[in-house]
Amino acid sequence: MNETNAPLIEVVGLEAFYGRRRILHGVDFSVNRGEIRVIMGGSGSGKSTLLRHIIGLQRPVSGTVRILGVDVGRAGAQELLAVRRKLGVSFQGGALITSMSVGDNVALPLREHTQLDETTIRIMSRLKLEFVNLGGFHDLMPSQLSGGMIKRAALARAIVMDPELLFFDEPSAGLDPVVSAELDELILRLRDALRMTIVVVTHELESAFRIADRITVLDQGDILTTGTVAEVRASENERIQDLLHRRPRSVEVDVDDYLRRLTEEDA
Amino acid sequence: MIADALHLLNRLGRRTVMAVDALGYAAGLLGEAVGFVVSGRRRGQPVRLQAVVEQMRQVGVDAIPIVLLLSFTVGLMLAIQFIATLREFGAQSQVVLAVAKSVTREFGVLITGILVAGRSGSAFAARIGSMSVSQEVDALGVMGIDPVRYLVAPALLAMLVMLPVLTVLADAAAILGAAMYSAPMLDMSVQTYLTQTLSQLTPRDVYEGLAKSIVFALLITVIGVATGFSVTGGAEGVGRATTRAVVLSITALIVADMVFSFFLNR
Ligand SMILES: Nc1ncnc2c1ncn2[C@@H]1O[C@H](COP(=O)(O)OP(=O)(O)O)[C@@H](O)[C@H]1O
Ligand SMILES: [Mg+2]
């Protein structure tokens, strides 16, 4: 088995549904060790849904998802927990535990998964807070933080166990350009300094171009292309060019579908 | 006509399937939580004593004043009613026995259960519901912290310990309340009233209440957390779930109580 060359994430033929609505259409996706992969696409294109399947929060209806060599869809609870200790996730809304201070949030994985003493835990969690430029904010409660601070605190919590794989959902959504650029810097430093493999979901072009080694463009549940920044920019695909130039998409209506939607009793 | 009937039948069918689903889900949650209590440590998912103690404080210790106050009042009320009724048969002195049995077997645990359902059942639903909505539950999961182990197991343990304790306190307060009213009416001292109560109570009376309190603790916890985990639809959904948890658990308590009393007193 060749550890170094096997992709860390391998998604094959993934289909996802919410009720009867098909969200992902046979998605194939793989990420190699050490790269920053950006999943880019308009709002509602299924980026978060793909991410939730990769980290095992949703099980695939069909298709397979493997991360770090484990089939997430078929793994038992124990196996899944073991894999999850090796990955960090920063959610779209931060998802800090509201009843805990920032410091306790960051320290939580250490308290739960290690036998370290309290002093070591405190030092390690404060180091990570320093890393995301939140030094000295450990006593604040999540409700006292601004949007950018929440994202950074969530990032600190995601990396406190030094994961091999980091997922970041919408790092720059709802932030001003300066704060969003700072977050991009942090992500680049994580790859260079800590050698993490990072998957970033975003709909912000600028941020995607700044940090990506390769970009996967997702559009209404289909992967349009995967390539370097230059390749994506040069793509001939009309939908990609629409996305890059912020053109509204031209909606084509299928008459049969349209009539069915209007007349159907329950969706 | 037929179409209407079919439609109704269809709805009824769906409702039934949903109810059975919900029951299965709640039972599954309970099983998982018990599993973590029993073998969590071995599986690297220990239920933390500190979390259990914190929950015991919230569901138990903090509820003591209100449980005492309400039980005392209900005891007093029972004494008034019993004396008024028994007087008609010239059997006033039987009030001691009537209060002792009805409080320990029925009222102490029921008042405690309803209060705790209102205080803690709703708190479980609100806490877990808002954590689901803000993806905190997902975040725990991907950090390798099982949400059932972390959120449900401590609550369940705390309830299983504290509800019987609260029930005993409620029994005592209710009997004291009854004594305050009855003793002067019967020309005896409060102390004599209490001694008589103790001599007329059998362990079985108290056990009946305690057995109920264990079942109530399971019902309140499971309904609260299951409702919480099923929240959809943002803050409004959390509000709805909280109300639902309270109504459902009080209904479940009263039905369970009835079944219990029926089988234990045949
Ligand atoms: N819990 C859910 N229930 C039903 N539909 C959902 C749910 N979450 C997302 N969706 C739908 O799935 C589609 C993709 O959503 P999402 O993956 O969140 O998109 P993105 O992250 O790219 O904005 C959207 O159309 C959204 O309405
Ligand atoms: Mg999203």
Q: How many other C-beta atoms lie within 10 A of the C-beta of residue B22?
A: 15
Say whether pLDDT at B145 is over 50. yes
Give the model confidence (pLDDT) of A18-55 as tens digits: 888 889 998 999 999 989 999 998 888 899 999 999 99
Say whether pLDDT at A1 is over 60. no
Q: Which ligand is nearest to the Cα of residue A219, counting in written order?
A: 1
From A15, A17, A18, mutation site for ligand 1 pocket: most ligand atoms within 8 A of C-beta: A18
> In this complex, is the C-beta atom of B232 within 8 Å of any C-beta atom belonging to chain A?
no
Separation CA A171–CA A93 (nearest Å): 9
Question: At which residue do the structure tokens 């999943």 appear?
Answer: A39
Contact A15, A26 (CB under 8 A): yes
H or E element at residue A172: none
> In this complex, is the C-beta atom of A77 within 8 Å of any C-beta atom belonging to chain B?
yes
Say whether pLDDT at B242 is over 50. yes
Confidence of residue A266 (pLDDT cuts 50, 70, 90): low
Average pLDDT score over residue span B226-247:
91
Say whether pLDDT at B147 is over 80. yes
Separation CA A50–CA B9 (nearest Å): 38
In the prediction, which pLDDT does B119 show?
A: 95
Residue of B nearest to A90 (CA): B139
In this structure, of A194-208, A252-266, B6-20, B232-246, the range with the lowest mean pLDDT score is A252-266
Say whether pLDDT at A267 is over 70. no
Q: Which ligand is nearest to the Cα of residue A171, counting in written order?
A: 2
Mean pLDDT score across all residues of chain B: 92
Distance to chain B for A197, nearest Cα, Å: 17
Single-letter amino acid, residue B140: L
Question: Residues with Cβ < 8 Å from B213, sequence gap 6 or more?
Answer: B109, B112, B113, B163, B164, B166, B167
**If you ran DSSP here, which 8-state letter would residue B48 be given?**
P
The length of chain A is: 267
Ligand 1 midpoint to CA B53 (Å)? 39
Concatenate the DSSP letters of all residues of A32-51 into one string: -TT-EEEEE--TTSSHHHHH
Q: Which of A92, A98, A109 sits opposite B136 (nearest CB)?
A: A98
Single-letter amino acid, residue A144: Q
Separation CA A130–CA A103 (nearest Å): 11
Give the model confidence (pLDDT) of A50-63 as tens digits: 999 999 888 888 89
Sign of CA dihedral A116, A119, A125, A128: negative
Give the model confidence (pLDDT) of B169-192 as tens digits: 999 999 999 999 999 988 999 999
Domain boundaries, chain B: 48-264
Give the model confidence (pLDDT) of B80-121 as tens digits: 999 999 888 888 888 899 999 999 999 999 999 999 999 999
- Tell which residue, A41, A118, A109, A47, has the closest CA to residue A81: A109
Interface of B with A in 2-41 (CB under 8 A): none
Better-predicted residue by pLDDT, A77 or B159: B159
Give the model confidence (pLDDT) of B198-217 as tens digits: 999 999 999 999 999 999 99
Say whether pLDDT at A215 is over 90. yes
Q: How many other C-beta atoms lie within 10 A of the C-beta of residue A93?
A: 19
**Highest mean pLDDT: which of A231-240, B3-12, B30-39, B74-83?**
B74-83
Question: At which residue do the structure tokens 């969690």 appear?
Answer: A125
In the prediction, which pLDDT does A104 show?
A: 95
Task: Please answer yes or no on whether A113 and B144 come within 8 Å at the CB atom.
Answer: yes
Contact B120, B216 (CB under 8 A): no
Separation CA A111–CA A99 (nearest Å): 16
Mean pLDDT score across all residues of chain A: 88
pTM of the complete model: 0.86
Ligand 1 atom at shortest distance from the alpha carbon of A46: 17
Task: Please answer yes or no on whether A56 and B142 come within 8 Å at the CB atom.
Answer: yes
- Tell which residue, B53, B66, B50, has the closest CA to residue B119: B66
Separation CA A126–CA A142 (nearest Å): 16
Kindly state the greatest CA–CA separation across chain B.
Answer: 72
Say whether pLDDT at A251 is over 80. no
Concatenate the DSSP letters of all residues of A232-244 into one string: HHT---HHHHHHH
Q: What is the ipTM of this complex?
A: 0.86
From A21, A22, A23, mutation site for ligand 1 pocket: most ligand atoms within 8 A of C-beta: A23
Average pLDDT score over residue span A114-126:
92
Confidence of residue A4 (pLDDT cuts 50, 70, 90): low
Contact A246, A40 (CB under 8 A): no
Residues with CB under 5 A from ligand 2 (ion): A 48
**Strands A62-67 and A70-71, bridge-based pairing:** antiparallel
Q: What Cα–Cα distance (Å) separates residue B215 from each residue in A138, B156, B165, B246? A: 42, 11, 14, 16
